[in-house]
Amino acid sequence: MDYRDVLLEQDFGTINQLISAHARQRPLHPALICGAAQINYRAFDQQIQQVAAALQRDGAGPGSVVAICGAASIEYALAFLGALRAGAAVAPVAPSSSRESLAAMLIDSGALIAFVDAATAETLTTGDTNTALSSIQTVCFDDPAAGVPFRAWLAPQQAALTDVTIQPDDPFNIIYSSGTTGTPKGIVQPHAMRWAQFKRIRYEADAVTVVSTPLYSNTTLVCFLPTLAAGATVVLMPKFEATVFLQLSAQYRATHTMLVPVQYRRLMTHPSFDNFDLSSYRIKYATSAPFAADLKRQVLARWPGGLVELYGMTEGGGSCMLEAHRYLDKLHTVGKPMDSNDIRIVDEYGVERGIGEAGEVVGRSASMMVGYHNLPEKTREAEWFSPDGLRFIRTGDIGRFDTDGFLVLIDRAKDMIISGGFNIYPSDIEAVLAAHPGVEECAVVGIASEKWGESPVAFVRLRVGVSVEAQTLKAFVNERVGRTQRLTDLSLIDVLPRSAIGKVLKRDLRRIYEESRGGVTAV
């Protein structure tokens, strides 16, 4: 049995135990590649040790939090793993956040030390956030003027490190996820949750994973961490760009990647996509946003290797998996519940629904958050308990199981439009819009209406080179949907606002519509 398998057969372990084993067993194998920089497992393990020693020297350890905010880099990975080795929890924070939001997350996390890059440091040092953040030590990856330089801050190679015993329920990370609603909530995930992922998601030792989504996202960590747990190689992209992604994939003979649907769409429409040799790919993963069946078909037809869609939440709970290359007749679903995942459908009163009946998706598994950091009320709102007392996490998604046990997602519960007392699912209208040959992307939101309560309004980005009037598209939809689903308005838009991992920000679309009407939303 391979040494990695022996370690992963344990009921519990840590990512750093695995990395240290790789440093002993395959020291010269590349762990991380980022641009021209590269580090092997021996050096990676040694420098993680130096980070951990420096953190302990500065007071960070069990019970404390270390924040990281910046673009993906080797230094980012060292800070992340070093914090864990020191016994601290990691709070990776989105560098794209506003100054106020960034400061709020850092303060909420209780971070003792924050690793930043120059861009984040500039954001933090403008405005009036300095007083609130004065107690947080800042270490800067790439600019000596923005904080203590990372390389100078590191402890010497022979610095002593106090051994830390990690318990399964100890916090691994605090992921700040605002989803598409706004206010960030800190999701506390334990070490046990990550260990369960390493046991479940086992990469081959020769795997090469291209990581192009941000390291603060759980979407990224689900492929980034298991690759390192396997002793394989991660190719980091600080920012996604379709041409560069294709070049890196061909250059390093990539075997795996995790992309969000909007990235797949950009790659499929890249004019030179078919000129790149992607034959080394074994599996491509997708998650975080609705993945249209027609786009899955394009990926399967043109990109070698399997395609796996993962459905779940940062909060944990139940997860589903669709092996799209095996179930070509189920591309409209997100697959079946994964092993040891219990997923159920409940109505608005918390009563379970049957096969084919729609309701909110709730899930339970070994991969569940402890709760929202400092938000016990929000934690309780996110929980559903079965009649026999088992704890589940609410997803906020509306779905149903088909007769084969595949989960079909209908919409987000909060995005459902209630018009004249009728429930309207935006995804139904979006599917009709997407069928028009001139539509590249679309989104439907509910806008306040004095007459109906809410009315559906659509936003459309047209295909390049296509000219279609908004009224023509509106008529196209309204001729094909039910009376209660008819659009009140339709706007053409150059870009749909999205989060860093590709989710359409419907709150921003509502704001855009309100501003276009001078602050009046009633229609």
pLDDT band at 82 (very low <50, low <70, confident <90, very high): very high
DSSP output for 45-86: HHHHHHHHHHHHHTT--TT-EEEEESS--HHHHHHHHHHHHH
Q: What is the pLDDT of residues 452-503, one digit of tens each?
A: 888 999 999 999 999 999 999 999 999 998 888 999 999 999 999 988 778 8
Sorting pLDDT into bands at 50, 70 and 90, what band is 103? confident
Per-residue pLDDT tens digits for 273-320 = 999 999 999 999 999 888 989 999 999 999 999 999 999 988 888 899
What's the rounded Cα separation, in Å, for the pair 448 and 465?
Answer: 33
Within 13 A of 27's CA, how many CA atoms are on the CB side?
4
Instruction: Tell me which fold the domain 416-516 belongs to.
Output: GMP Synthetase; Chain A, domain 3 (3.30.300)
Q: 276 near 253, Cβ under 8 Å?
A: no
Nearest to 444 by CA among 392, 486, 480, 397: 486
The yes-or-no answer to whether 3-239 and 312-412 have a common fold is: no
Q: What are 158's two structure tokens?
A: 């022979």
Q: Is 269 helix (H, G, I), strand (E, B) or coil?
A: coil
Pairing status of strand 65-69 against strand 89-92:
parallel
pLDDT digits (tens, 9 = 90+) for 131-164: 556 788 999 998 777 678 999 999 999 999 999 9
Q: Distance of alpha carbon 25 from its chain centroid, rounded?
A: 32
The first and second tokens of residue 168, run together, are: 């399964």
Domains of the chain by residue range: 3-239, 312-412, 416-516
Q: What is the CA angle 129-519-413, rounded to 5?
A: 80
**CATH code linked to domain 3-239:** 3.40.50.12780
**DSSP classification of residue 338:** P
Amino acid at position 95, single letter? P
Q: What is the model's pLDDT at position 509?
A: 94
Beta bridge partners of 284: 257, 307
Angle, alpha carbons 458-460-463 (nearest 5°): 160
Instruction: Give the residue, 183 or 421, on which the prediction is more confident.
Output: 421
End-to-end CA gap in the chain: 66
pLDDT at residue number 127: 55
Token pair of 244, please?
Answer: 């560069």
Tell me, what's the pLDDT at 178? 56
**Where is mean pLDDT largest: 138-152, 223-237, 435-449?**
223-237
| Structure-block tokens of residue 154 | 């590191």
At 24-58, the pLDDT tens digits run: 999 999 999 999 999 999 999 999 999 999 999 99
pLDDT band at residue 108 using 50, 70 and 90 as cut-offs: very high
Options 2.30.38.10, 1.10.357.10, 3.40.50.620, 3.30.110.30; CATH for 312-412 is 2.30.38.10
- Average pLDDT of the chain, as a whole number: 92
- CA–CA gap between residue 419 and residue 408 (Å, rounded): 24
